[in-house]
Chain A
Amino acid sequence: MSGAKKMAQQDRRLDILVACLLVAFISAAACMLLGLELLFCYAVSVILFLSAMLGAERRGTTGPFKYFFLATLLCWLVAFSIMAGFDIEAIRERGYVDELIGSLPPETAAAVYLLWPAPFLLMTLPYALLFRRNILSDADVEAINKLAAENRQSADEKSV
């Protein structure tokens, strides 16, 4: 496949990804305004997932990042679903919280122990671990440096 064709294909892939983001943002706005809390949570999770995919997209692929991001998305969906199950009336009836996980009510524990560390371990950490292969290689830096040198030379010529 020619270089131009390949690039056009990569651009189309990005367009589709951003179109999905548009659907997610519109869904989030609708759920926000209609007070559909759990659906709003899911829309937010999808927005964050797709945004990370957009950032990790490189030459038409997200490489191994997609698996990490899918795992993060799953954590968000599970955590938000558990959080939505918090039953304040049940605690009022008993007079206190009778079940604690990691010193917190289960629904709050889902927020603290899933929503907090999971995105760090599954989204932020892989950036560092896969940096050389999937974010920025020496060849990338070299290519940009070459362009920068050309730009500087052309600016010097203009000023002369």
Chain B
Amino acid sequence: MNSTVVAVSVVYFALMIAIGLWAARRTKTAEDYYIAGKGMSMWAIALATMSSAMSGFLFIGGPGFQYSFGFGTLMLTFPAAVSFGLAWYLLGKRMRMLAEVRPVVTIPDAIHARYDSELARGLAAIAILLGVMGYLATQTLAMGYVLSRIFDLPLSVGVITGVLIVTVYAVAGGMIAGIYTDVVQGAIMLVAAVLTFMLALDVGQGMDNMVVAISSTDPGWVGPFGNLAPGVVIGWYLVFSLGILGQPQVAHKFYMLRDPAQMRWGAVVAASVAMITSLVWLSLGTVSKYLSLEGGAPFESADEAAPSFMIEHAPAWLTGIFFAGVAAASMSTADSFLNIGAAALTRDLPKAIGKTISPQDELRLGRIFTVILAAVAGAVALLSGQLVAVLGIFGWGTFAAALAPALGFGLNWRRATAEAAVASLVTGILLQVALELNYQMGWRPDLLPDYVYRTGFSFVMSFIVFITVSFLTPPRQLPRDIDAVMRV
């Protein structure tokens, strides 16, 4: 790779480690480690929420996906306009106020505070651990891929290097490092996306030219659903909009806000930055398709579309920023999940089975589990082959299907019961696992029609179960403080 690209990348990685070491000096308690001591500003929270929600898929998988299937794939990124708004309306003040009245640090803590059920807390922790492992493995692989491209390394060395860098700053600085690196990473993603968008339009001689050229050979591609089943595309729109309510990397950021009044502009900042960064998906997918029709060399895989375009057409400094942007997107997601996974193992599962761990041990164990999780994710990424993709899809879907009803609706609807929370958690986890395994293993290919998005089905069923069971079971009197939080 060009020396300028290498230099830009080295500066970026050095900056991430420096932030981690700086944050380590501010991390003294478990609260600092898991929720940044509730001392973050609105800008930091909004950018960190955006960058941890938008993973490396935005720069590599997304454009590759659009290159293959057309404009319909944008329905995976359009929800950003509404999802952050929904997260702020349904979770924002409830989560933040919950952190005022109860010592909550994790999402299972919030579930427990709301339903007073250790079973619901334990199931939420299991859903989080399952999802975290899936997410971490895919992000680890994405980091390894980028590093191997930049430094001409074997993939395995790239994965190990990526794991080491994230582990250093996540272990040392916990969530304080996570938030500040996310802010820098979010800014890099924004710059990389805007510059790449302008370059892609320039190379393709404008969107009109590209669309007309593509439509002459592949008219379905330029349609609103692309070459995909409309039912699948609309299912994405639903799950990626409302499913944000179950994403722990988004929901637990509300605990960290210094002042509740600062919540005001958070959704606007997060959504607008996410929408701007989505331009990279729209433009790179389109220009790659256009160039391939104009006689460009075919790609080995769709994921090669975006990196190949940058290497061939972008100046070296922009290619460097692009690759740093990809690494930034993967790392910002990975560090959040390391922290969330460590909290599930150190805090949530022991509490669910009635074990109490001292605050000092919680911090020490949190760091140990962060290292273990990173090592396991690296091993899974390297050893599981095709399964990594399955785990990645499974991760996001599990959070959405299992946690969104109990957390998102449960914090806004006083009639919701603990039995309903348990039932929807079980439904979400089981349907996600069963449908995904069935599809990947090919046991019963006709179980669901091919125009149905599997996660969409699990997601909708989980909400139906949650609401139905809540209406069928007697509501309990809520504690005064929880009732007050829900009536604010």
Contacts and interface: CB of A to CB of B under 8 A. Distances in A.
A48 B208 CA distance: 32
Given A91-B219, A141-B261, A55 B412 contact: yes
Contacts of A147: 100-101, 480-481, 484
A3 B392 CA distance: 49
Contact of B451 (A35, A56, A108, A143): A35
Given A29-B461, A35-B449, A105-B215, A44 B81 contact: no
Tell me the interface secondary structure of chain B in the complex. Answer: helix
B263 A48 contact: no
Contact of B86 (A41, A55, A151): A55
A151 B85 CA distance: 31
A151 B71 CA distance: 52
A152 B88 CA distance: 27
A151 B102 contact: yes
Contacts of B206: 103
Given A41-B234, A108-B223, A22 B85 contact: no
B275 interface: yes
Interface in A49-99: 51-52, 54-59, 72, 80, 83-84, 86, 88, 91-92, 95-97
Contact of A123 (B74, B82, B97, B102): B82
Contacts of A51: 86, 90, 242, 408-409
Contacts of B457: 29, 32-33
Which of B231, B449, B452, B485 has the most A CB atoms < 10 Å from its CB? Answer: B231
A97 B222 contact: yes
Majority secondary structure, A binding face = helix
B82 A48 contact: yes
B26 interface: no
B112 to A, nearest CB: 15
Interface residues of A, number: 74
B488 A140 contact: yes
A32 B71 CA distance: 21
B222 A105 contact: yes
Residue from A22, A86, A97, A127 whose CB has the most chain B CB atoms within 10 Å: A127
Interface size class of B (residues with CB under 8 A): 35 or more
A52 B212 contact: no
Interface in B90-124: 90, 92-93, 97, 100-102
Given A41-B234, A88-B223, A107-B223, A96 B261 contact: no
Contacts of B191: none
B460 A119 contact: no
B277 to A, nearest CB: 13
A147 B212 CA distance: 62
A59 B208 CA distance: 50
A108 B74 CA distance: 10
A145 interface: yes
B219 A92 contact: yes
Interface in A105-155: 105, 107-108, 110-112, 115-120, 123-125, 127-128, 131-132, 135-136, 138, 140-141, 143-145, 147-148, 151
Given A86-B223, A127-B89, A47 B238 contact: yes
Contact of B268 (A96, A127, A143): A127
Contacts of B86: 48, 51-52, 55, 123
Contacts of A108: 71, 222-224
Interface in B400-425: 408-409, 412-415
Interface of A: 7, 10-11, 14-15, 18-19, 21-22, 25-26, 28-29, 32-33, 35, 37, 40-41, 44, 47-48, 51-52, 54-59, 72, 80, 83-84, 86, 88, 91-92, 95-97, 100, 103-105, 107-108, 110-112, 115-120, 123-125, 127-128, 131-132, 135-136, 138, 140-141, 143-145, 147-148, 151
Given A21-B409, A40-B234, A104-B222, 20 more contacts: A11-B415, A18-B467, A22-B467, A32-B457, A35-B451, A91-B215, A91-B222, A111-B75, A112-B71, A112-B74, A119-B81, A124-B88, A132-B264, A136-B93, A140-B488, A141-B260, A141-B261, A148-B100, A148-B101, A151-B101
Interface of B: 71, 74-75, 78, 81-82, 84-86, 88-90, 92-93, 97, 100-102, 206-208, 211-212, 215-216, 219-220, 222-225, 230-231, 234-235, 237-238, 241-242, 260-261, 263-265, 267-268, 271-272, 275, 282, 408-409, 412-415, 448-449, 451-453, 456-457, 460-461, 463-464, 467-468, 470-471, 480-481, 484-485, 487-488
Q: Which 10 A/B pairs are nearest by Cβ-Cβ distance? A: A55-B89, A124-B85, A103-B207, A55-B90, A119-B82, A91-B219, A120-B81, A83-B224, A97-B215, A131-B264
6 contacts: A19-B471, A22-B467, A88-B220, A127-B267, A136-B263, A141-B260
